[in-house]
């Protein structure tokens, strides 16, 4: 078999370079993600009742956003609601 590239079928996008070695462990990936976000965001860990978690998932899916973005929206709407009641 030949390794020749057919210009009619090859993609013009550059491909991701091959990574030698083992993949990055999930703990390191998560830490790198949190480090990138640390200037503008703060990590949150919470345990909530299952029905409320399912509703959060449903609301986020309906809006086409992440659950974190949905939580931010809910907090922002509560801030507005409370400021209107002053």
Tell whether 78 is covered by a domain. yes
26 three-state secondary structure: helix
Tell me how many domains the chain contains: 1
Provide the domain limits for residue 69. Answer: 44-86
Tell whether 68 is covered by a domain. yes
Q: What is the reported pLDDT for 5?
A: 57
* Each residue's pLDDT tens digit, 36-63: 999 999 989 999 999 999 999 999 999 9
Q: Which residues neighbour 67 within 8 Å (Cβ) at sequence distance 6 or greater?
A: 56, 57, 60
Tell whether 16 is covered by a domain. no
Sign of CA dihedral 44, 48, 50, 54: negative
Which pTM was predicted? 0.65
Range 21-36 average pLDDT: 90
Residue 25's alpha-carbon distances to 29, 30, 61, 65, in angstroms, are 6, 9, 28, 26
User: What mean pLDDT is reported for the chain?
Assistant: 88
């Amino acid at each position: 078999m030949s390794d020749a590239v057919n210009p009619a079928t090859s993609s013009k996008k550059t491909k991701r370079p091959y990574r030698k070695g083992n993949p990055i462990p999930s703990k390191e990936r998560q830490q790198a993600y949190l480090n990138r976000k640390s200037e503008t965001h703060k990590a949150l860990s919470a345990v909530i009742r299952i029905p409320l978690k399912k509703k959060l998932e449903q609301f986020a899916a309906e809006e086409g956003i992440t659950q974190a973005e949905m939580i931010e929206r809910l907090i922002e709407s509560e801030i507005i609601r409370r400021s209107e009641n002053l």
